[in-house]
Copies of this chain bind each other. A is one copy, B any other.
Amino acid sequence: MSGAPLCATLLVCCPDRKGLVAALAQLLYDHGANLLEAHQHADAADKMFFQRIHFDMDELDIPRDQLEDLLRIECGRYGMRWRISYSDRLKRVAILVSRFEHCLQDLLLRRRLGELACEIPLILSNHPDLQSVAEQNGIPYHVFPITAASKAEQEAREIALLEEHEIDLIVLARYMQVLSQEFTERFPERIINIHHSTLPAFVGARPYHQAHERGVKLIGATAHYATSELDEGPIIAQDVEPASHDDTVDDLVRKGRDVERMVLARAVRWHLEDRIIAHGRRTIIFH
C-alpha cells in the first residue's frame, strides 16, 4: 500500500435541502480535492441527507486543518453532523474478549492480511484465557475480572485505559459481559457488538439449545453498535447459515461461530473505512 495516495473520507448527515451535494463538491473542488467515490442518500421518510465522500488529497492546496475549518463553517451553515478521517492516520481499535477466540483470531488474521486498516494497541478481557493469542500477535493484554461488586470500578479502569490509548473503536468480540450505560454512552457509535440471531429469536440462556429444540432452519448473527439498550443498537450487518435437523447443538454453535466472525469482520471493516452513519435506530452504509 506504500505509494498509495493520501486520501480522506468525509461523512455528513443533516436535514435534507437542495444544494447540499453541490456545496460540498464545490468546496472540495475549489481546493484541489479529487473525488474518488461519493455516495449520497436522502431518506424520504425522515427528510434527512446522508453523504460519504472519499477523496484524494495529493493536490489539495491548503493544509488539512484549514480544510477542516472550511468544512466546519460550511457544515455549520446546513446544520450538518460531520466527521473526516485520513488514510495516514490509522484508527485505533481495542478488542474486548472473554474466553472464545474465534472472533479475535479472525480480526487479527484479517489485520495481518491487510483487510483491516487499523492499529490494535490493546486487548481487554475479563478472563486470562486468551493472553497467549495476544502475545503471539505482540499486543498488550489486560485482564479486568468482573463481579457484580467490582463491575463499576473495573469498567471505570477500562474506560480510563481506553481513553488513555485514544481508542477510536471498541470491538466486543464475544465479550460476555453486559456493558453499563455509562460505558456505552461514553463511546457512542464507537462500540461494535456481535450476537447470535435466529428466526424466531430466543432470549435468555442457551440460545442454541432453544434453537435446536425449536428446529430452526437458519442460524444467524447480527453486528450492531452497542447502546444502553442491550442488543438493540443500530444494526450494521447480518447474515445466516442454513441449519437442519441433523445439526446437533454443537453443530449450531459451530455455524454460529462461522457467521459471527464473518459478520463482525464485515462490520468492523465498514466502520474502519468510514462507510457507516448511524441515525436513530438505523444505519446508512455506503458501498
Please list the residues of chain A having a beta carbon within 8 angstroms of any beta carbon in chain B.
18-22, 25-26, 28-29, 32-45, 59, 101-102, 105, 109, 112-115, 136, 197-201, 212-218, 220, 222, 234-240, 244-246, 248, 250, 254, 257-258, 262, 281-285, 287
Contacts and interface: CB of A to CB of B under 8 A. Distances in A.
B39 A39 contact: yes
A229 to B, nearest CB: 12
B245 A284 contact: yes
A24 to B, nearest CB: 9
Nearest to A110: B254
Contacts of A220: 199, 218, 240
A245 B285 contact: yes
Contacts of A33: 18
A109 B115 contact: no
A244 B201 contact: no
Nearest to A221: B199
Given A216-B238, A235-B215, A245-B285, A109 B113 contact: no
Contacts of A281: 213-215
Given A235-B215, A283-B215, A21 B35 contact: yes
A283 B243 CA distance: 12
Contacts of A37: 40-42, 246
A94 B237 CA distance: 36
Contacts of A235: 214-217
Nearest to A216: B235
B113 A257 contact: yes
Contacts of A45: 212
Contacts of A217: 222, 235-238
Given A136-B136, A215-B234, 4 more contacts: A21-B21, A41-B246, A101-B109, A245-B284
25 contacts: A18-B32, A18-B33, A20-B35, A21-B21, A22-B28, A25-B26, A37-B246, A38-B39, A41-B245, A43-B245, A44-B248, A101-B113, A102-B113, A105-B105, A115-B254, A197-B199, A197-B200, A201-B201, A214-B235, A214-B282, A217-B238, A218-B239, A240-B240, A245-B285, A258-B262
